Amino acid sequence: MAIFTNAETKLVVQGITGRDGSFHTTQMMEYGTAVVAGVTPGKGGQSFKGPGGKSVPIFNSMDQAVAATGANASVIFVPPPFAAGAIMEAADSGVALVIAITEGVPVLDMARAHAFARDRGARVLGPNCPGLITVGGAKIGILPGSIVTPGPVGVVSRSGTLTYEAVYQLTSVGLGQTTCVGIGGDPLIGTNFIDCLEAFEADPETSAVVMIGEIGGTDEQDAAAFVKEHMSKPVVGFIAGQTAPPGRRMGHAGAIVSGAGGTAAEKMAVLEENGIPVAKRPADIVGLVREALA
């Protein structure tokens, strides 16, 4: 089992001929992801040469790609001015999952894109996220496949680099993962902590969850309340930005402390009040997971 993606996922890469799209398509295919098509307007009829000589057909539109291949997911490596349009095109084509890697998408564009995708029943992950990887199933996005290993721990994070760090530490001590999800750090994202926690709770192979948050907003507090009310599986947490000064954005567009509720201290306190042990340093996550699984 897994959440959101598995070995049956058939993926379209929007922006497959660009620098980032072509590089990460190769990485995804090497991991074993079923990349069945690419989309670049004006380059329909060409093909992408993947690892092992495998050829991926390129189409001018998502409608054409889905009709020809039966694809059910899309990943977007499209420049910021066009990313929201690509998300809406993907949702309109009928795919169930749209993963937007692009950083710097205008917020107003994303407000329209998220509403459009919801109306069509498509799940959007991102934007400004590293994607997700279901261990032994499918890797969609830029998460490195070399650091994961099969096991019982689900990981969900707002920070891409901290996702890598947590997963690497878990793997290094033999604590494998089911699915690792980077939800992104923009103010408007499509899939949040609660969505992922609910999916992990329903996944029979996930026994514990690592939730990595950061300063800004109240998503972590909302997630903590959900854990207390609705989850039987243990969750351990970490909050990045513990030394961040108020009013300064730290990396992500959504990571800015604009009130007491957005501080690391407030978030950590709320998590612990709701029964979620919080690591003070990333290095402490492994110990908390071991205790949760004991």
277 close to 237: Cβ distance less than 8 angstroms: yes
> For residues 32 and 215, what is the distance between their CA atoms, to the nearest angstrom?
35
Q: What pTM, to 2 d.p., does this model score? A: 0.93
100 and 148 inside one domain: no
69 and 26 inside one domain: yes
176 and 278 inside one domain: yes
Domain count across the chain: 2
258 and 173 inside one domain: yes
Residue 258 Cα distances to 105, 111, 197, 248, angstroms: 22, 21, 26, 9
137 domain residue, yes or no: no
92 close to 32: Cβ distance less than 8 angstroms: no
135 domain residue, yes or no: no
173 domain residue, yes or no: yes
> Structural domain of residue 105, as residue ranges?
10-125
Burial classification of residue 46, based on how many CB atoms lie within 10 Å of its CB (0-12 exposed, 13-18 middle, 19 or more buried): middle
Instruction: List residues with catalytic annotation.
Output: 252
111 and 74 inside one domain: yes
26 and 163 inside one domain: no
20 close to 149: Cβ distance less than 8 angstroms: no
Question: What CATH number corresponds to the domain at position 41?
Answer: 3.40.50.720
Identity at 73, one-letter amino acid code:
A
pLDDT tens per residue across span 212-258: 999 888 899 999 999 999 999 999 999 987 766 665 555 555 545 44
Candidates 14, 141, 142, 38; CA nearest to 86 is 14
Q: Is 140 left (phi over 0), alpha (psi -120 to 50) or beta?
A: beta
pLDDT tens per residue across span 176-225: 999 999 999 898 999 999 999 999 999 999 999 999 999 888 899 999 99
* Strands (DSSP E) found in 126-268: 131-134, 138-141, 150-157, 177-182, 208-214, 235-240
DSSP codes of every residue in 272-290: HHTT--EESSGGGHHHHHH
232 and 177 inside one domain: yes
pLDDT tens per residue across span 126-184: 999 999 999 999 999 999 999 999 999 999 999 888 899 999 999 999 999 999 999 99
